[in-house]
Structure 1
Amino acid sequence: MTKEDKIKEAYGDYWDVLRKYIDEDGRIHYNDIRFVANGAIKELDMIEPELFLKLIYPKQLEGIRNNNGWTKIESEEDLPVSGEYRVISLQYSKSINAKYARSSNTWLPIGTDDRRFIEVTHYKRIIEDKPPIY
């Protein structure tokens, strides 16, 4: 599914009425929706307007701007540098850690007994938690 498909799905029956007002991240200026389809605000369970921008969007689109931190691999340009990442793989039902080798373009699971290369659809950096200050 594409980003645009998710945005269309979130707006549902209001998509055709509002599509010309919706930006590439599924947001719409509050004034536009208020005058065009006021009922949509309640029915779509919209997130409150961003303070100065006055942009609103359906709650189900929260995180769509950066895909919740995940990079979708659609071409070679999307591949990361060699290293360890959190990945979504077709072979596993949940996200796992994997090591990527750019030179051979291969992903290998970490922390499992599985030693087969895997096919990865999404990845994101593994961010170590900072220790407590006090």
Structure 2
Amino acid sequence: MNLSPKDLGFDEVTECEVHCEFWRPIQLKGIENNNEWIKIESLDSFPQKTILCITCIFLEGTGYQIGSSRTRTPDDLLRMWQNAELTHYKVIDSNPPIY
């Protein structure tokens, strides 16, 4: 196809990740791992220990709502999922690096 980001109206510096001849819009960064969001589809999707996480519910037709970041037990998350209060969660690193 041999088109550059500029040919398609993207600013290569601010809107794209460029790796040799491959590039993509920067808005797609993290798409490989869903930006670390975990979709709850079964009981296997729950963590085995208490975690610090952000919770989220996707409401059809209205977008989504993100809850606050809190420490939650697997039982908390299970109850929320069973009550249709939760569809996804994202683990927060409770010990971020200091630099």
Please tell me the TM-score bracket, short chain as reference: 0.5 to 0.7
Deviation at 1:88, TM superposition (A): 0.9
Task: Output aligned runs, 1:26-105, within 5 Å.
Answer: 33-34=1-2, 38=3, 41-42=5-6, 43=8, 45=10, 47-50=16-19, 54-84=21-51, 85-89=53-57, 93-96=65-68, 97=70, 99-102=72-75, 105=78
Matched residue SS, 2:27? helix
Give me the identity figure in percent.
28
The structure with higher relative contact order (CA 8 Å, sep 6+) is 2
> What code does the residue aligned with 2:49 have?
S
2:87 is aligned, of 110, 118, 121, to 121
Q: Does the residue aligned with 2:31 lie in a helix, a strand or coil?
A: coil
Q: Is the 8 A contact 2:54 2:66 kept in 1?
A: no
Q: Which structure 1 residue ranges, 5 or more long, are not aligned?
A: 1-32, 108-116
CA distance in structure 2 between the aligned counterparts of 1:44 and 1:129, rounded to whole angstroms: 40
Taking only aligned residues, the RMSD between alpha carbons, in angstroms, comes to 3.5
Query: CA 1:55–1:123 in structure 2 vs 1: closer, same or farther (change >3 Å)?
Result: same
State the shift of 1:128 in Å: 2.0
1:55/1:130 CA distance change after superposition, 3 Å: same
Structure number having the greater strand percentage: 2
Q: Could you tell me how far apart the structure 1 residues matched to 2:90 and 2:9 are?
A: 30
Structure 2's unaligned 5+ residue stretches are none
**TM-score normalised to structure 1 length:** 0.46
Q: TM-score with structure 2 length normalisation?
A: 0.57
Structure with bigger gyration radius:
1
Given that 1:69 and 1:124 are in contact with CA atoms closer than 8 Å, whether structure 2 keeps it comes out as yes
User: Which one has a larger percent helix, Structure 1 or Structure 2?
Assistant: 1
Question: Partner amino acid for 2:93?
Answer: I
Compared with structure 1, are the counterparts of its residues 55 and 76 closer, same or farther at alpha carbon in structure 2 (3 Å cutoff)? farther
